Amino acid sequence: MKAIFEKTDNFGMHAMRVKNFRGFPPMFHSHLELIYVVSGEIPMIIDGQSHSLASGEMSVLFPYVVHNYESAPEAEAFIILFDPKIAKSFESELLSKKPQAPFLKNAERFEPLFKRIAELTKDGEIGYKTAYAYLEAFMGELIALMPLCEVDTVFENMTKPILLYCSEHFCDEDIGIKKIADGLYISPSYVSKVFSFKLKYNFREYINELRISKAKELLSRPDARILNIMLECGFQNQSSFNRIFSKICGMSPREYRQKKLVAKKITEP
């Protein structure tokens, strides 16, 4: 499972066309993320703003902005992830500000650019250099279209350590708002406000999402006992584990494992 705080040194740039869009709980990372929907819709929340990103629309996610996506199995989209340093002319704005509204409608004219950048990143070092040039010009046009605002430092400064703490301790049996507050030397009410007003996510549901994501990763190992997986992910009760897993995944842990094993056999040469 990827950490809820994602930071990759020397990240550079990734560009790809994706089908069957996966859902993710709230996260943030040090790179920028651009998504253009080719078909279908992707429900998402960026910086507390909810929107179902439809065909012909794009989202613009600046570094360290909290966001999450719901699963969209019918959606197809281009995604570009890149280090702010690549867009050298705009690095300062990208690291100190964020869009007032992170969603851009009527963005069809950018689809060829997304496609071209995705193609160039398959052509080795020369392709990447050309893609960087395209991307910098692209960001200049986007910034002109999307008014920027200063970062809300109060919430931003505390949201990051709270999510980091969750990503490091979500398997602890006694994880809770008070434990997070004690660990970060802040008040429990502040932690609650970050989840309620910033993340717009129920704390317990968020922890369960992290635990089940970890359980799904472990269930792909056929030799791991389900009871041990349950305990490793912070659950102490088999019925609670099964109930929460089924609610999130639509099937029991045993059914999920069987499905993964069958899929693996089909894809094996």
Tens of pLDDT, residue by residue over 110-151, are: 999 999 999 998 877 778 889 999 999 999 999 999 999 887
Domain residue limits at 188? 152-201
Closest among 126, 139, 106 to 32, alpha carbons compared: 139
pLDDT of residue 141: 92
Which of helix, strand or coil describes residue 227?
A: helix
Residue 138 and residue 196 in one domain: no
Chain position carrying tokens 């006694």? 174
- Output the average pLDDT for the chain: 87
**pLDDT at residue 199 above 80?**
no
pLDDT of residue 4: 46
Could you count the other beta carbons within 10 Å of the beta carbon of residue 200? 14
Backbone Cα Rg of the chain: 20
**pLDDT at residue 61 above 80?**
yes
**pLDDT at residue 154 above 90?**
no
* Domain finish residue from 113, 130, 150: 150
Q: Compute the Cα dihedral for 169, 258, 70, 87 and give only its sign.
A: positive
CATH of the domain at 261: 1.10.10.60
Q: Report which residue type is found at 33.
A: E
Tens of pLDDT, residue by residue over 26-51, are: 877 878 999 999 999 999 999 888 99
* Domain finish residue from 186, 201, 216: 201
Q: In what order do the strands lie in the sheet with 24-29?
A: 5-6, 24-29, 67-69, 41-46, 49-54
Q: How far apart are CA 255 and CA 186, in angstroms?
A: 41
208 CB-side CA count, 13 A: 15
Tens of pLDDT, residue by residue over 157-176, are: 788 789 889 988 999 989 99
**pLDDT at residue 238 above 90?**
yes
Tens of pLDDT, residue by residue over 73-88, are: 899 999 999 998 888 8
Residue 57 and residue 114 in one domain: yes
Reported confidence tier of residue 9, pLDDT bands at 50, 70, 90: very low
- 181 strand-pairing partners: none
Residue 97 and residue 164 in one domain: no
Chain position carrying tokens 């494992």? 257
Residue 90 and residue 37 in one domain: yes
| Strand pairing report for 58-61 and 32-39 | antiparallel
